[in-house]
Amino acid sequence: MNNSIIANNTNGNGPSDCTTTGWVSADYAIVGATDGCLIGGLVGSQFGTAANPVAPMLAALATDTTAGLRYRAPLASSTAIDSGEVSSVCNAPYFSGDLPVSTDMLGNPRSADGNDDGIVACDIGAIEVKPDTTPDAFAFSDQIDVAVNTEIASDVITVSGVASLSQASINIDNGEYRINSNDFTAEDGVVNNGDSIDVRHTSSNENSATTNTVLTIGGVSDTFSSITVAAIPDTTPDAFSFTGQTNVALNTTINSNSVTISGLEAAAAIAITGGEYRINGGSFTTIAGVVENSNTVVVRQTSSATYSTSTHAVLTIGGVSDTFSLTTLPNTTPDAFGFTDQSNVALNTLSTSNTVTISGINAAATISVSGGEYRINGGDFNASAGVANNGDVVVVRQASSADFSTTTEAVLTIGGVNDAFSVTTLACSVLPETVLPDTMPDAFSFISQEGIEINTLITSGAFSVSGLEAEAPISISGGEYSINDGEFTSSEGVVNNDDLVVVRYTSSESYETATDAVLSVGGVSFTYRVTTLAEPAAKPSEADAGGSSKSSKGSFGYWLLPLFALLAVRRFRIFR
């Protein structure tokens, strides 16, 4: 009966675990009641009597589902545990000749430190109790508000509750672990009692998200969790824009266009420099505040008190800024200017004013005249509206009245400021007799030309102006004129007595066509006529050009010498 448990048996008289007729060996055995037995050996055995039986402390009858064997395993308090031979290999129970075996009846390794006393010994009986590899419960401290997508390490736990000579399995899900500060790994392994374990994982790449790592030791698990920091709400708005304004009145309060704030996830700071703002039609303010998504904002500021000057109001929301700019209108109202009136002016005479210099403006101003002409900086006289700039020099002229003692005005207006240049003709008087200078020339004529090539520049002969006592106006239509071999021009001008005048223009593009250039001097007009030649006849053929002689009509041009009668020009005398 070596290495066996015999207990809890009865007969009609009470407990009775064995009856023998001779001696039996019972080393490392438990016999509940040995009454009626002759037992020898007694090495490591536990015997009781009917009066005081030994309780082997066995669990209820169980069936191994793999092998189909029925057994009763020792409870944790059973004295059968580790009470057999102190050996890594145990002898078989019953009467098997004490042959050594390495496993128990269920195939579990034999022997083991079943009671965790640090000594490996065989259990009495057919079942070898496994050492305890289930650790005490352990727990990791979860972490919150961790950075996204960051490696997070747990606190360290110490394994306890595992049999001292045994190891417990360890595995991890969604992370890595390390034992006693060695390298991290995700592979399954084993751990000993007293080992230090910590785990790690990578936090979520999203805000406010949880990442879980489950560590299991000997069937006991705990989860290490990390929660990423909550997303910081976006307080940076989309870009916004104010439309600048130009030509605004001086020292005037101007409102901007309205902008609608977008792109915010939470209230954003709002501040302004150089002006005021209002939100959703509220009161204007300069005090910093907050603005919400979809709010409407308007900015206002006061324009400069100086012409052509820019001012700026800068609105900043959540770090994004834009500027509302105002530029005042330019000053186009000049300082007052004045012309000196003229009196006792001859009748129907061009009178030119004194010069005035434009001042007080910083941009071009409109200029116009009524009743006369003006010129700027010595340019041509002109009656059309235009522009004048600061520092320009302006002169006005007008023709005096054809009546005595009559005042005429030429009114010059610049940027809304005007002044009149007044001219008053002399009074009528018969004494003394006054003769005005004669500005009407003696009659003159041009010799017309015929038989001229088409589209050809033709110049007249020169004539000498005579009969003038003062300069006379000269003008032309349909051509150009030159005075004293000067440059040809088609503009109005003046001519003096004895000046040599030549006229030119281009003949017609058509055959047998007359064109005229009309020159006017001192109110007397004269025509210079040019007539193109007749269209040429077709060339004769080579057959007609043979040996026979033919008469042909010679071509000739017609010329015309116009006769002009000398006109007696009446000289008018004007009596004062």
| Intrachain domains 143-228 and 429-539+555-576 with the same fold | yes
Long-range contacts (CB closer than 8 Å, 24 or more residues apart) made by 220-225: 220/134, 220/135, 220/136, 220/137, 220/138, 222/137, 222/138, 222/139, 222/140, 222/157, 223/140, 224/140, 224/142, 224/154, 224/175, 224/199, 225/142, 225/143
Average per-residue pLDDT for the chain: 86
Identify the sign of the CA torsion 127, 132, 133, 134.
positive
Residue 545 has pLDDT above 70, yes or no: no
Residue 411 has pLDDT above 50, yes or no: yes
| Whole-number Å distance between alpha carbons of 255 and 277 | 9
Residue 542 has pLDDT above 60, yes or no: no
The answer to whether the CB of 288 falls within 8 A of the CB of 269 is: yes
pLDDT digits (tens, 9 = 90+) for 427-467: 987 445 556 788 899 988 889 899 999 999 999 999 899 99
Residue-range domain boundaries for the chain: 1-131, 143-228, 245-328, 342-425, 429-539+555-576
pLDDT at 441: 92
Question: CB count, 10 Å around CB of 160?
Answer: 12
pLDDT digits (tens, 9 = 90+) for 286-298: 999 999 999 999 9
The reply to whether CATH 3.30.70 applies to domain 342-425 is no
| Whole-number Å distance between alpha carbons of 553 and 184 | 129
**Higher pLDDT pick, 283 / 30:** 283
**Residues of the chain with pLDDT > 90: what percent?**
62
Task: Give the range with max mean pLDDT: 91-95, 125-129, 410-414.
Answer: 410-414
Class for the domain spanning 245-328: mainly beta
Name beta bridge partners: 433: 575
pLDDT at 81: 84
pLDDT digits (tens, 9 = 90+) for 74-115: 888 888 887 877 765 666 554 444 556 778 888 887 777 777
Confidence grade of residue 574 (pLDDT, cut at 50, 70, 90): very low
Residue 573 has pLDDT above 80, yes or no: no
pLDDT at 569: 31
| Whole-number Å distance between alpha carbons of 167 and 191 | 5
pLDDT digits (tens, 9 = 90+) for 312-357: 999 999 999 999 999 999 999 999 999 999 999 999 999 999 999 9
Contact partners, residue 26, CB within 8 Å, separation at least 6: 1, 2, 4, 39, 40, 41, 42, 45, 47
CA dist list (Å): 539 to 542, 543, 544, 545, 573: 9, 12, 10, 10, 64
Identify the sign of the CA torsion 173, 179, 184, 187.
negative
The CATH architecture assigned to 429-539+555-576 reads Sandwich (2.60)
Residue 61 has pLDDT above 70, yes or no: yes
CA atoms within 13 A on the CB side of 348: 9
User: What is 143-228's CATH number?
Assistant: 2.60.40
The reply to whether omega before 74 is within 30° of 0 (cis) is no
The answer to whether the CB of 242 falls within 8 A of the CB of 316 is: no
Looking up tokens 């090539």 gives: 453
pLDDT digits (tens, 9 = 90+) for 161-186: 887 777 899 999 999 999 999 999 99
pLDDT digits (tens, 9 = 90+) for 461-493: 998 999 998 999 999 999 999 999 999 999 999
Q: What is the mean pLDDT of residues 236-251?
A: 96
| Whole-number Å distance between alpha carbons of 543 and 548 | 10
Burial class from Cβ neighbours inside 10 Å (0-12, 13-18, 19+) for residue 530 reads: buried
Residue 558 has pLDDT above 50, yes or no: no
pLDDT at 14: 64
